[in-house]
């Protein structure tokens, strides 16, 4: 018999496909917890079978969380409660944050056992910048709400991480291409499973690839590169803008306007404006 854990809440990350990714510490906590709060007991039973343990389970999912949370938090005073989701890290597009909040508010110990997370695993496969990324979870399924959600993040200088399902992938990529323009992206699928893949390309090529193809099977994470740096304005850009501004403004004002708009040197532009006027 394993020694019991101290009372409190244990957030346990579980594999996203390959059971070998369950960490020894996660297995140890699951084996010793007084009760495991689960999304789907059939899924977690499979994981427990894999590590050869039997523990009591109690359902905790989107449809019953409000009702069962107070009782679960109360149990944490004297029992160890492990929280798992069907796959990956609880709280990441999965239930759990309110349980953590309430457990903490009640003064209980909260411990995390980190591990697999599809968003982070996809970032490691995509080969796109990882210094700043924005996790968007699932975009809204309806066209207008999805376009609005994309427009909201279009200017953000960060790699975007989205969860998507096979049947919606084509429409999602088309909406991303329309809303974000030509950016590098990756469609990662079935991570840690037999048919793991990462298909890379620009948003428009990926949108075209998945537009008419049968929906890809399995689970998907889409990664989109940040917007590119704007090309610095050239001398020719400066001349063109100056020529236009001189039709409306005196040389000094035209130079000032173009300098501000294109980030060019005002004095140089002024000298050029005088040349152009002659």
Q: How far is the CB of 88 from ligand SAM (least distance, A)?
A: 2
Q: Which of 126, 136, 191, 269 forms a contact with ligand SAM (CB under 6 A)?
A: 191
Q: Which of 38, 88, 169, 223 forms a contact with ligand SAM (CB under 6 A)?
A: 88
Q: Which of 38, 136, 219, 270 forms a contact with ligand SAM (CB under 6 A)?
A: 219
State the alpha helices, DSSP H only, in the chain: 24-32, 41-51, 65-75, 97-105, 118-126, 143-153, 166-180, 203-211, 235-246, 251-262, 266-277
Which 149-168 residues touch ligand SAM, going by CB under 6 A? 163-165
Q: Name the strands in the sheet holding 80-83, side by side, starting at the edge strand that comes first in the sequence.
A: 57-59, 35-38, 80-83, 8-12, 110-113
Task: Give the interface segment with ligand SAM, choosing from 4-12, 55-63, 185-193, 209-217 (CB under 6 A).
Answer: 185-193
Which 14-33 residues touch ligand SAM, going by CB under 6 A? 16-17
Which 225-264 residues touch ligand SAM, going by CB under 6 A? none
Nearer of residues 49 and 217 to ligand SAM, judged by Cβ: 217
Identify the DSSP state of 227: P
Q: Which residues contact 12 (CB under 8 A, 6 or more apart)?
A: 26, 29, 30, 82, 83, 84, 90, 113, 115
Nearer of residues 5 and 186 to ligand SAM, judged by Cβ: 186
Q: How far is the CB of 69 from ligand SAM (least distance, A)?
A: 19
Q: How far is the CB of 97 from ligand SAM (least distance, A)?
A: 12
92 contributes a contact to ligand SAM by CB under 6 A: yes
The answer to whether the CB of 192 falls within 8 A of the CB of 17 is yes
220 contributes a contact to ligand SAM by CB under 6 A: yes
Nearer of residues 22 and 87 to ligand SAM, judged by Cβ: 87
Identify the DSSP state of 260: H
Q: Which residues contact 36 (CB under 8 A, 6 or more apart)?
A: 30, 44, 48, 55, 56, 57, 58, 81, 82, 83, 84
27: nearest Cα among 120, 115, 118: 115
Binding residue count for ligand SAM, defined by CB under 6 A: 24
Count CB atoms within 10 A of the CB of residue 64: 12
Q: Which of 85, 175, 207, 224 forms a contact with ligand SAM (CB under 6 A)?
A: 85
Nearer of residues 91 and 241 to ligand SAM, judged by Cβ: 91
Which 111-130 residues touch ligand SAM, going by CB under 6 A? 117-119
The answer to whether the CB of 197 falls within 8 A of the CB of 190 is yes
Q: How far is the CB of 16 from ligand SAM (least distance, A)?
A: 4
Find the residue with minimal CB distance to ligand SAM: 88
The answer to whether the CB of 194 falls within 8 A of the CB of 170 is no
Question: Measured between alpha carbons, how far is residue 59 from residues 42, 93, 157, 256, 271 in Å?
Answer: 11, 17, 39, 66, 75
State the residues that interact with ligand SAM by CB under 6 A: 16-17, 85, 87-89, 92-94, 117-119, 163-165, 188-193, 219-221
């Amino acid at each position: 018999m394993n020694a019991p854990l101290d009372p409190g809440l244990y957030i346990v990350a579980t594999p996203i496909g390959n059971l070998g990714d369950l960490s020894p510490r996660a297995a140890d906590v699951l084996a010793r917890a007084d009760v495991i709060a689960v999304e789907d007991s059939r899924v977690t039973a499979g994981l427990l079978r894999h590590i050869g343990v039997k523990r009591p389970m109690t359902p905790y999912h989107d449809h019953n969380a409000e009702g069962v949370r107070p009782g679960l938090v109360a149990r944490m005073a004297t029992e160890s409660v492990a929280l798992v989701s069907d796959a990956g890290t609880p709280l990441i597009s999965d239930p759990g944050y309110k349980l953590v909040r309430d457990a903490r508010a009640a003064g209980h110990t909260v411990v995390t056992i980190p591990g697999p997370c599809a968003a982070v695993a996809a970032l490691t496969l995509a080969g796109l910048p990882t210094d700043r990324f924005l996790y968007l979870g699932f975009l809204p399924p309806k066209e207008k709400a999805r376009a609005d959600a994309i427009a909201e993040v279009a200017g953000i200088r960060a790699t975007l991480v989205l969860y998507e399902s096979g049947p919606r992938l084509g429409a999602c990529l088309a909406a991303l291409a329309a809303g974000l323009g030509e950016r590098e992206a990756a469609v990662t699928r079935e991570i840690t499973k037999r048919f793991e893949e990462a298909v890379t390309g620009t948003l428009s090529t990926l949108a075209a690839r998945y537009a008419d193809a049968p929906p890809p099977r399995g689970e998907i994470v889409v990664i989109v590169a940040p917007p590119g740096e704007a090309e610095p304005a050239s001398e020719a850009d400066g001349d063109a803008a100056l020529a236009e501004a001189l039709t409306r403004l005196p040389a000094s004002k035209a130079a000032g306007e173009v300098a501000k708009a294109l980030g060019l040197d005002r004095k140089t532009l002024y000298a050029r404006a005088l040349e152009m006027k002659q």
